[in-house]
Each structure stands twice: as structure tokens, then as C-alpha cells.
Amino acid sequence: MAVNRLAYFFAGAVLGAAGLAMVKTGKGQELVSGMINGGCGLAENVLGRVETVKEDIEDYMAELKYKAEQEKEAAEACAQDVAEQEEVEAVADVEIDIASEDVSEADEESVTDSETGKA
């Protein structure tokens, strides 16, 4: 266990010395600035994609809400049409009943008139 810790210490020291040597020669600054620029570019790219996805989701949700409203309006219109149709059928049934009663009364009167004429 102590050997592993000692190996990690020496590896860190070697990497630190190599990094210090690169910074002193100027190549390290170019490498670090390139990494920072690349990281910033990557961050901007990721944020741009996240914003695009967010807008797409908002558009999708707005379309779903619009479709739901359209379906609700269509269902209400259909229910209203059914109610109107039932009302028309009820009125037609009442008119048929009234007409059949008038016919029945007319038949009774004609039968009564014919019976009084015979007597």
C-alpha cells in the first residue's frame, strides 16, 4: 500500500516538473490557452444545443395544447349538434302525435256523423 502511494507521489512530481518546464518554454501557455478556448467553444456549443432542444420542446408542447383545444371545441360542437338533433326529433315526434290525434278525432267525427245520418 505504501508502495502505491510512493509511486503516485513520484508520478505527480514528474508530471508537475514536465508541466513547469512547458510553461517556462512558452508551449505550455499555448496549450493551456488552446484548452481554455476549446472548452469555451465546447460550452457554447452545448448551451446552443440545449437552447435548441428547449425551444423544440416548447413548440411541441404548444402544438399539443392547440390540438387539445381543437379536439375539445370539436367535441363541444358535436355534443351541441347531437342535442339540437335530439330536440328536432322530439319536436317532430310531438308534431306526429298531434297530427295522429287530429286524424283520430276526424275519424271519430266522421263515424259519429255517419251514425247520426243513419238514425
Amino acid at 54: K
| pLDDT score, position 52 | 95
Q: Would you tell me the crossing angle of helices 27-118 and 2-25 to the nearest 10 degrees?
A: 100
Amino acid at 57: I
pLDDT confidence tier of residue 72, bands split at 50, 70 and 90:
very high
pLDDT digits (tens, 9 = 90+) for 9-19: 889 999 888 87
Longest dimension (CA), the chain: 142
Asked whether the beta carbons of 28 and 19 are under 8 A apart, the reply is yes
| pLDDT score, position 109 | 56
pLDDT digits (tens, 9 = 90+) for 49-64: 999 999 999 999 999 9
The percentage of the chain sitting over the pLDDT mark of 70, rounded to a whole number, equals 75
When pLDDT is averaged across residues 26-48 and rounded to a whole number, the result is 79
Asked whether the beta carbons of 28 and 22 are under 8 A apart, the reply is yes
pLDDT confidence tier of residue 119, bands split at 50, 70 and 90:
very low
